[in-house]
Amino acid sequence: MTVTIGKPVDDFTAKATSGISVSLKDLKGKTNFVLYFYPKDNTPGCTSEGQAFAENLDAFKEADTIIFGVSKDTMKAHENFKAKYEFPFELISDSNEELCKLFDVIRLKKMYGKEFMGIERSTFLIDKEGTLQHEWRKVRIKNHVEDVLQAAQALEGMVEPITSTLDKSSDN
């Protein structure tokens, strides 16, 4: 089963950097959280997306929202990526694609004339009750983190709610 806006997200447990385990049941009732799925550690787009979330971390904390990056990379690759760019949040290794399948982010992609299955850049905002409140699919990095932050702030009554969760199209 995949996620649906306005519905509870199925419980999950995943390994993350810093030797921690992230589970919905542990987060439920405590904090809102963002899962942003990205294709690959140490690539230009994924690095700039991680840096944008890092630059806005204090504002997300004020909105009682924590950030998790998710890709299929190994834990070792994640630890190196996190350390290299000093990301102040944890990265989840989803090498078995359990979270990718739950959030339906694996898509047929093309690069250099070759087709392969990979992660479509996507972001999900889950509230304190474990309900999916917003999703962004086919993400373009420019202004994306600001859109996610505004949605997180709206959950906490800090700003007016955003009117649409449709794909935001802007340049990378």
46 catalytic residue (yes or no):
yes
What CA–CA distance (Å, rounded) separates 49 from 142? 9
String of DSSP letters for the chain: ----TTSBPPP-EEEEGGGEEEEHHHHTTT-EEEEEE-S-TTSHHHHHHHHHHHHTHHHHHHTTEEEEEEESS-HHHHHHHHHHHT-SSEEEE-TT-HHHHHTT-EEEEEETTEEEEEEPPEEEEE-TTSBEEEEE-S--STTHHHHHHHHHHHHTTSSPPPS--SPP----
Q: Which of 14, 16, 46, 145 is catalytic?
A: 46
Catalytic residue numbers, as ranges: 46
